[in-house]
Amino acid sequence: MERHTTLGEFIIQNQKDFPYAKGELSSLLSAIRLAGKMVNQEINKAGLAEIRGKAGKENVQGEVQAKLDILANDMFISTLRDRGDICGLASEELEDFIVFNEERHKNANYVVLIDPLDGSSNIDVDITVGTIFSIYRRISPIGTPVTLEDFIQPGINQVAAGYLIYGTSTMLVYTTGNGTHGFTFDPGIGSFFLSHPNMTYPNSGRIYSVNEGNYVHFPTGIKKFIRWAQELNEEESRPFTSRYIGSLVADFHRNMLLGGVYLYPTGTTSPKGKLRLLYECNPMAFLAEQAGGKASDGYGRIMERTPSELHERAPFYCGCKTEVEKIEWFLNQED
């Protein structure tokens, strides 16, 4: 009986893509896999266990933390710390990065940035949420404590990126720069199996995903794009369909499969945009580009932006090339 490749087998089969790696990246990806299974377990029983609702604290973003935000954050930190493959970690939920400097981390080459539970405001209403991760090779000398510079690297330096999506099924989607590949979790066996090899955007899509409640705050170019998407034009398959879940991983995943574009523009309430460049925009941008899509800040390739701080925000337009370029065109017209 034909069976799908497991995530573990796939990682090992593709380890050759990293001639210098001594299996660290493979081990790191398997640690993320383990933590994802643990978070998935907690999410699936959230309604029963007393882990729904607010934790009564705020994160560095000033957002009220859900109990599951903290639980997911702790699970990824402890799992990644135990493995000894990384020398530091930064999280949406923590103001500063964490230095891993026990003996087993001494020669670790990698740092991880993570949004442990993206879209967590949707948990209590049973809507899909996700975990987003981004992996870099450190740039400071091995054997020394990681520094901020190891984390605030441009997205083009990522060695791997991915997300877990906790939806009708749980999937892990990742890239190491050799395509974007999706693995579906089989809870009966406890393994992820390759279900979506080489995920690829259609050249053009008909879905746009934006919080239109913020329309009045949008730049003129974005208002023009939305109006354009809503016009009747059978030749260009317009009007588009509006689909917005309020969970980046869910909107991104659907748009990559069906064809569409996600927008989180600047606005008067979020002058730099809402999404965080380092652990939301850049990892999703890496996946999108590897799937033949495009990811922009409205004026250029978002992965080429040089970050200046850990939690900086950026406007984010990501999806099918045709529609991202249309957004850039509208934004670059004179007002």
Q: Which residues bind ligand P6P (CB under 6 A)?
A: 118-119, 211, 246-248, 251, 274-275
Q: Which is nearer to ligand P6P, 110 or 316 (CB)?
A: 316
120 is in an annotated binding site: yes
Least distance in angstroms from the C-beta of 211 to ligand P6P: 3
Least distance in angstroms from the C-beta of 41 to ligand P6P: 22
Per the structure block, which two tokens stand in for 323? Answer: 């529609």
Side-chain-side CA neighbours of residue 273 (13 Å)? 21
The Cα 44–Cα 260 span in angstroms is 28
The Cα 7–Cα 29 span in angstroms is 9
121 is in an annotated binding site: yes
Least distance in angstroms from the C-beta of 119 to ligand P6P: 4
115 is in an annotated binding site: yes
Residue 268 falls in which region: left (phi positive, over 0), alpha (psi -120 to 50) or beta: alpha
277 is in an annotated binding site: no
Least distance in angstroms from the C-beta of 102 to ligand P6P: 32
Q: Which is nearer to ligand P6P, 10 or 252 (CB)?
A: 252
150 is in an annotated binding site: no
Nearest to 266 by CA among 210, 306, 310: 210
Amino acid at 26: S
All residues at 6 or more sequence positions from 62 whose CB lies less than 8 Å from its CB, including other chains: none
Q: Which is nearer to ligand P6P, 63 or 149 (CB)?
A: 63
Nearest to 173 by CA among 98, 248, 92, 83: 248
Separation in Å, CA 148 to CA 62, 192, 239, 261:
21, 33, 45, 32
- How many Å is the maximal CA-CA distance in the chain? 63
Q: Which is nearer to ligand P6P, 4 or 217 (CB)?
A: 217
Q: Which is nearer to ligand P6P, 8 or 246 (CB)?
A: 246
| Buried b / exposed e along 23-35 (16+ C-beta atoms within 10 A) | ebbbbbbbbbbeb
Least distance in angstroms from the C-beta of 251 to ligand P6P: 6
264 is in an annotated binding site: yes
Least distance in angstroms from the C-beta of 70 to ligand P6P: 15
Q: Which is nearer to ligand P6P, 24 or 118 (CB)?
A: 118
308 is in an annotated binding site: no
**Which residues contribute to the annotated binding site for Mg(2+)?**
92, 115, 117-118, 280
Q: State the binding site for substrate.
A: 118-121, 211, 244, 262-264, 274
**Residues within the annotated binding site?**
92, 115, 117-121, 211, 244, 262-264, 274, 280
